[in-house]
């Protein structure tokens, strides 16, 4: 893999991590209110998939989408300002953490109804196919979403009409507090795609290079007329479901080494409740970001000193984003009404 | 003898008492079991009653609500928790086409002892998809009953009554009430589930309201009393059916009606309340009925704007004051 691409993947992951950890701090300070679903642990999925996409491809995401927007290229300033609910936020302060939109970058939104991303992405893909364009639509969703009717209905239609849809399951093994063995009869999520004859593969979602390559291959097949493709990325969130959730239902041993997959450990999970301390997490060894950095140093792509520079750079971007958000004005009620009626064509109705 | 309980604790007690008394009672929903429920309502029940009676479901609202309908047909008393009312749209088919219709369509052959509980309302900056009310959606469906407890005592009573009922009951709980505290008498005999409660007596105007806004209206009434306006506050407790008699006898005394609700104004619960009471009490009214409701706009994420879209205590005070003045003007002229 070429050096520039690797560099970009690492930078995107570092930026996502720094951004989200800072968002958590700003939440604690009261600058961010409401639900805040953070991405640490899952960066390799967003970075790998979105970097494999072209600028004319579409992205549909759920409520854990801040990093997706950042990786897509929305300036950190506008992402942070949206978390703060300010006028310069990417949705004008109307959407908030779960509803980020950037039409210019074809970032088609963050959605908070589980399973909702599938039919929306389906509709975009239908349009692309109808117009015979070389574009693809990327649809993100979690392991919990695959139990929703909309998921199955959308997969069926996407396959039936061979739509250019890349379905990406971010399988972090949990739907809030419910571990996957307790919510899914088939825990190998990618196997569900077989019911609709959709080619599917499972990749290590902690390895950004594998995710990137799988997404590239899938997008090539889509552009070659291969119809919808499915990638299951096995990953893990290091934090609770949202800032409101301490994640105490997850045993330390699991967070430390989440490769434990068998039903016995699933039973153990039900018994032990505790969220790991940062020290325990650190003891688990280098995470996926650390592994990629190490790989790049070993392969001679990057010197340690450059990694330090990258860290400094993303920290500066995040700091700037926070200052920007703090200074951004509050939106007005006039703006709210204007957004509500943005599609009205000069009609006076009442 | 009563004890102080939080709203969620009162609901938790009600579940526990009913589950202990009748094995046909079981509950299901997302994270109701091991996790104990997102608002703790089912806390401890999984350990006590086991997974068949406290079932963690996948995220499949339509089908697990439908499961409740099916189980109710064959003698169970399911309590379905929809994590929040914002996911109700996904479960509407089971509720509207199933629960509400089957007893009727079968020519009265089946009971439908189903309870569907859900938190709702505008909480704090949860965004447009997580700040909905939607009670009007259910009010328009014949065959359903809807309870809207505003106090821990009512939460306790009404959940127990809902479980005991053979009709499908929707229990709408308010997200900002779960941690409110109040006295709960676990042994007292409850009023009928649909009976409205007179929360404060007054002679100058009647405020008809429900859920969290029943509390805000009482705060407003206290403010109004300082300036000599005595507002009578009626907490409906039930949106289907509505206890019209309690409202009408108050209006006959006060001659003015202010309807306060959190939901959007257009075709909301307040529209039904205002029109029905205007029809019935027309000759008792000294001034046109006034409605105070949420703005007809999706809830903005920004905190200041969010607050501006639903009635605040100060808005209720202003509306009540104006209503009292508007009556006097017409009399004076
Ligand atoms: C239809 C619907 N039901 C319930 C919820 C509440 N809820 C929010 S996130 C979530 C869990 C989703 O899990 P998953 O799809 O695995 O995504 P993750 O958060 O793990 O990324 C639930 C139940 C919701 N937002 N939408
Ligand atoms: Mg998940």
Question: How does pLDDT run along chain A (350 residues), one tens digit per residue?
Answer: 778 899 999 999 999 999 999 999 999 999 999 999 999 999 999 999 999 999 999 999 999 999 999 999 999 999 999 999 999 999 999 999 999 999 999 999 999 999 999 999 999 999 999 999 999 999 999 999 999 999 999 999 999 999 999 999 999 999 999 999 999 999 999 999 999 999 999 999 999 999 999 999 999 999 999 999 999 999 999 999 999 888 888 887 777 655 333 333 333 343 344 455 566 666 666 788 988 888 888 888 888 888 899 999 999 999 999 999 999 999 999 999 999 999 998 887 77
Supply the DSSP symbol for A98: T
ipTM score: 0.94
Question: How far is the C-alpha of A116 from the C-alpha of A120, rounded, in Å?
Answer: 7
Q: What are the sequence ranges of the domains in chain A?
A: 3-325
Are both B2-185 and B197-332 of the same fold? Answer: yes
Helix segments in chain B, DSSP class H? 7-21, 45-49, 61-73, 88-92, 102-105, 135-139, 152-164, 212-226, 244-254, 269-281, 303-308, 313-332
Q: Say yes or no for a CB contact (<8 Å) between A99 and B90.
A: no
User: Between B129, B297, B303, which is nearest A112 by CB?
Assistant: B129
State the smallest CA–CA distance between residue B269 and chain A in angstroms.
22
Torsion on CA atoms B217, B137, A344, A342, rounded to nearest 10: 60
Instruction: From the CA of A242, give the closest atom in ligand 1.
Output: 19
Decide whether any atom of ligand 1 lies within 6 Å of the A144 Cβ: yes
Q: What are the sequence ranges of the domains in chain B?
A: 2-185, 197-332
> Is the minimum CB–CB distance between A177 and chain B shorter than 8 Å?
yes
Decide whether any atom of ligand 1 lies within 6 Å of the A11 Cβ: no
CB atoms within 10 A of CB B290: 19
Distances from the Cα of B322 to the Cα of A299, A344, B227, angstroms = 76, 34, 13
> Is the minimum CB–CB distance between A183 and chain B shorter than 8 Å?
yes
Q: Is B61 a catalytic residue?
A: yes
Question: DSSP strand E in B128-242: where?
Answer: 145-147, 169-174, 181-185, 197-200, 205-209, 231-235, 238-240
Q: What's the predicted TM-score (pTM) here?
A: 0.94
Between residues 61 and 90 of chain B, which touch chain A (CB distance below 8 Å)? Answer: 61-63, 86-87, 90
Phi, psi angle pair for A95, to nearest 5° = -90, -55
- Strand order of the β-sheet with A200-204 is A107-111, A58-62, A137-142, A165-171, A229-234, A200-204
**How many residues does this entry show for chain B?**
333
Torsion on CA atoms A256, A260, A264, A270, rounded to nearest 10: 40
Partnered with residue A203 across adjacent β-strands are: A233
Question: How far is the C-alpha of A127 from the C-alpha of A184, rounded, in Å?
Answer: 32
Q: Say yes or no for a CB contact (<8 Å) between A340 and B56.
A: no
Decide whether any atom of ligand 1 lies within 6 Å of the B30 Cβ: yes
> Is the minimum CB–CB distance between B203 and chain A shorter than 8 Å?
no
Q: Is B213 a catalytic residue?
A: no
Answer yes or no: CATH 3.30.70.60 is held by domain A3-325.
no
Between residues 130 and 189 of chain B, which touch chain A (CB distance below 8 Å)? Answer: 130
Average pLDDT over residues B128-139: 96
Between residues 195 and 234 of chain A, which touch chain B (CB distance below 8 Å)? Answer: none
Decide whether any atom of ligand 1 lies within 6 Å of the A171 Cβ: no
Supply the DSSP symbol for B86: G
Supply the DSSP symbol for A317: H
CA-nearest residue, atom 12 of ligand 1: A175
Pick the CATH number of B197-332 from 3.40.50.920, 3.40.50.150, 1.10.240.10, 3.40.50.620: 3.40.50.920
**Residues of A with CB below 8 A from B298's CB?**
340
Ligand 1: centre distance to CA A175 (Å): 6
Average pLDDT over residues B294-320: 98
Answer yes or no: CATH 3.40.50.970 is held by domain B2-185.
yes
What's the token pair of residue B171? 């229990």
């Amino acid at each position: 893999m070429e050096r520039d691409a690797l560099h970009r993947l690492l930078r995107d992951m570092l930026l996502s991590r720094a951004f989200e950890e800072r968002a958590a701090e700003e939440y604690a300070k009261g600058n961010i209110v409401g639900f805040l679903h953070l991405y640490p642990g899952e960066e390799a999925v967003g970075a790998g998939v979105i970097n494999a996409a072209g600028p004319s491809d579409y992205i549909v995401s759920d409520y854990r989408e801040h990093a997706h927007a950042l990786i897509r290229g929305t300036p950190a300033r506008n992402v942070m300002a949206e978390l703060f609910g300010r006028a310069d936020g990417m949705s004008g302060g109307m959407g908030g953490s779960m509803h980020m939109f950037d039409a210019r970058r074809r970032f088609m939104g963050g959605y908070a109804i589980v399973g909702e991303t599938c039919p929306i992405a389906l509709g975009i893909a239908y349009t692309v196919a109808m117009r015979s364009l070389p574009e693809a639509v990327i649809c993100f969703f979690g392991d919990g979403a695959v139990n929703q009717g909309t998921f199955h209905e959308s997969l069926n239609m996407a396959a039936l009409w061979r739509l250019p849809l890349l379905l990406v399951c971010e399988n972090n093994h949990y739907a809030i507090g419910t571990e996957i063995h307790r919510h899914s009869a088939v825990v190998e999520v990618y196997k569900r795609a077989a019911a609709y004859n959709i080619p599917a593969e499972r990749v290590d979602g902690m390895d950004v290079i594998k995710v990137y390559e799988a997404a590239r291959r899938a997008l090539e097949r889509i552009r070659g007329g291969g119809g919808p493709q499915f990638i299951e990325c096995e990953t893990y969130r290091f934090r609770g479901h949202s800032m409101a959730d301490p994640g105490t239902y997850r045993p330390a041993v699991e967070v430390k080494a989440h490769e434990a997959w068998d039903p016995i450990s699933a039973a153990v999970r039900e018994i032990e409740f505790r969220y790991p301390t940062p020290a325990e997490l650190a003891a688990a060894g280098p995470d996926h970001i650390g592994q990629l950095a190490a790989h790049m140093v070993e392969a001679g792509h990057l010197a340690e000193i450059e990694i330090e520079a990258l860290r400094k750079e993303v920290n500066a971007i995040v700091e700037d984003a926070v200052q920007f958000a703090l200074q951004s004005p509050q939106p007005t009620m006039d703006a709210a009404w204007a957004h509500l009626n943005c599609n009205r064509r000069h009609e006076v109705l009442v | 003898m009563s004890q102080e309980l939080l709203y969620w604790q009162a609901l938790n007690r009600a579940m526990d008492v009913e589950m202990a008394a009748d094995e046909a009672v079981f509950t299901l929903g997302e994270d109701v079991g091991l996790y104990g429920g997102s608002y703790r309502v089912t806390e401890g029940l999984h350990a006590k009653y086991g997974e068949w009676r406290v079932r963690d479901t996948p995220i499949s609202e339509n089908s697990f609500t439908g499961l409740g309908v099916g189980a109710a047909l064959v003698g169970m008393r399911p309590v379905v928790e929809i994590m929040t009312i914002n996911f109700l749209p996904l479960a509407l088919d089971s509720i509207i086409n199933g629960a509400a219709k089957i007893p009727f369509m079968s020519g009265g052959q089946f009971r439908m002892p189903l309870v569907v509980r859900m938190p709702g309302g505008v909480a704090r900056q949860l965004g447009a998809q997580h700040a909905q009310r939607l009670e009007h959606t259910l009010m328009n469906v014949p065959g359903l009953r809807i309870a809207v407890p505003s106090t821990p005592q009512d939460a306790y009573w009404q959940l127990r009554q809902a479980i005991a009922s053979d009709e499908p009951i929707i229990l709408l709980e308010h997200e900002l009430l779960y941690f409110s505290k109040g006295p709960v008498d676990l042994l007292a005999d409850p009023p009928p589930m649909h009976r409205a409660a007179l929360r404060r007596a007054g002679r100058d105007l009647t405020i008809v309201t429900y859920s969290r806004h029943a509390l805000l209206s009482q705060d407003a009434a206290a403010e109004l009393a300082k300036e000599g306006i005595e507002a009578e506050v009626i907490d409906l407790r039930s949106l289907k059916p509505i206890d019209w008699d309690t409202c009408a006898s108050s209006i006959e005394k006060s001659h003015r009606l202010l309807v306060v609700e959190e939901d959007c104004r257009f075709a909301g619960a307040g529209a039904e309340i205002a029109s029905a009471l205007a029809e019935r009490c027309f000759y008792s009214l000294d001034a046109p009925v006034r409605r105070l409701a949420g703005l007809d706009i999706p809830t903005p994420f920004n905190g200041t704007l969010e607050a501006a879209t639903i009635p605040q205590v100060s808005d209720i005070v202003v509306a009540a004051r104006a209503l009292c003045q508007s009556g006097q003007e017409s009399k004076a002229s």
